Structure 1
Amino acid sequence: MTNRLHRALALIDAANAADPRGEALPYGERMSAELARLAPDASEVLQIAARGQHVERWLLPRSDYPEGKAGYLAWRREQARRHALRVGGIMAEAGYDPADCDRVGVLLRKEGLKRDAEVQMLEDVICFVFLRWYFADFAAGRDEASVLDIVRKTARKMSDAARTRALAEFALPPLLADAVRSA
């Protein structure tokens, strides 16, 4: 690991350590671990994007936006914009050039999903982290139709290779596995 990569990751971790709920730091670490597992040769920019994908997310609460899909999507767009700026600033502080700082913004805003291999890998990592660490809690207390809907939406975001790998790695009930296969 280069000095500047180590510094950028440490700065992201320091920012996330301020999360009053204590969720941001483990999330970033899980993203890094999943990226290392799925793409061990990932570029430094992709490694930083994975670690900083939710940097300081708590600073912009979902409750600041209207209920419903439009409010949710507006909140997510603003989060992506803020994450891109914050992580780009961290990278500049760690010694990365402006092109790399701009590139991390492309990844964090998910520009080119399904067309840009690194953007797609970041999305695949996000989906794997959700399935591995957050899906069970998310599904608990929701009806079967809601769970099926979120599995379909998650699977549609993933690459074909990631869907195949997810089916091999996760013990999904048949109905959910069929939803992943048909995405």
Structure 2
Amino acid sequence: MNSISFQKATASLKAAHLQDPNNELEGSKLVPAEWLYTQRLLDCLRQVYPDASEALTIAAYCQHLYRWEIKRTEYPEGRIGYYQWRNYLGDYQAGKAAAILQASGYSDDFVSEVVDILKKLNIPRLDDAQKLEDVVCLVFLEHYMQDFMQGKPAAQLVQIVQKTWNKMSDHGHHVALQLNLPESTHRIVIRALG
């Protein structure tokens, strides 16, 4: 993965993530939120799937590409509004990713492969799409679940963990059970699996 295209693409994708106007505290430093998310995905990918393909690695870089530009608040509340937002966002991000990858010199076939992984199309057929889904779920549980829990009833959180669990492979489940989760998150996970 030391090709010129890979180097160009990852540099461009990092530059895009660094434009995120939303910041999160990482240690004592403020970091653009989507760049921090991307770093967490890549770290998880290296640990869980150290043999990840180039297309899968690039898809991980693209996972939340320009996410801040399409605000959830621009869509109606509730499940229907959520899915409208998510579907539009998926197409929007895939288009942005494709443009960056093409400008970096990748072939149309490679770009299509990355977009399929990114959009998680036909997960039973695409092993890399399932691997990306595993990594996304693991990063959510480890880094974002705790804050997400605030103000939500336990029953709703149990359902969310169950839905997250159902998206993961057996290998993803095995890794998830080894995570060092905060006690409150761990309790919800155990209850969801009970």
TM over 0.5: yes
Q: Which residue of 2 aligns with 1:139?
A: 149
Question: Is 2:125 the counterpart of 1:154?
Answer: no
Structure 1 residues 88-107: aligned runs within 5 Å: 88-107=98-117
Give distance in 2, aligned partners of 1:43 and 1:100: 11
State whether residues 20 and 66 of structure 2, in contact with CA within 8 Å, keep that contact through their aligned partners in structure 1: yes
Give distance in 1, aligned partners of 2:65 and 2:107: 20
Q: What's the secondary structure of 1:169's corresponding residue?
A: coil
Report the CA distance between 1:65 and its aligned residue.
1.0
Report the CA distance between 1:174 and its aligned residue.
5.0
Report the CA distance between 1:60 and its aligned residue.
0.6
Give distance in 1, aligned partners of 2:48 and 2:124: 17
Q: Which residue of 2 aligns with 1:40?
A: 50
Q: How many residues are treated as equivalent by the alignment? A: 181
Report the CA distance between 1:48 and its aligned residue.
0.8
Give distance in 2, aligned partners of 1:177 and 1:164: 13
Q: What's the secondary structure of 2:177's corresponding residue?
A: helix
Q: 2:190 aligns with which of 164, 177, 180?
A: 177
Structure 2's unaligned 5+ residue stretches are 23-31
Residue identity in the other structure for 2:178: A
- Percent of pairs with identical residues: 35
Residue identity in the other structure for 1:73: Y
Higher strand share: 2
Q: 2:41 aligns with which of 31, 43, 50?
A: 31
Give distance in 2, aligned partners of 1:69 and 1:158: 22
Structure 1's unaligned 5+ residue stretches are none
* Cα distance per residue 1:76-120 (max 9 Å; x no partner): 111111111111111111111000111111111110123321000
Structure 1 residues 101-140: aligned runs within 5 Å: 101-140=111-150
State whether residues 123 and 129 of structure 2, in contact with CA within 8 Å, keep that contact through their aligned partners in structure 1: yes
Higher helix share: 1
Give distance in 1, aligned partners of 2:81 and 2:14: 29
Q: Which residue of 2 aligns with 1:71?
A: 81
Q: What's the secondary structure of 2:148's corresponding residue?
A: helix
Q: Which residue of 1 aligns with 2:60?
A: 50
Give distance in 1, aligned partners of 2:136 and 2:5: 24
Report the CA distance between 1:72 and its aligned residue.
0.3
Residue identity in the other structure for 1:9: T
* Cα distance per residue 1:30-55 (max 9 Å; x no partner): 11111111111111111011011000
Report the CA distance between 1:175 and its aligned residue.
5.3
Shift >4 Å, 4+ stretches? none
Give distance in 2, aligned partners of 1:177 and 1:143: 16
Give distance in 1, aligned partners of 2:41 and 2:50: 13
Residue identity in the other structure for 2:61: R
State whether residues 151 and 179 of structure 1, in contact with CA within 8 Å, keep that contact through their aligned partners in structure 2: yes
Q: What's the secondary structure of 1:30's corresponding residue?
A: helix
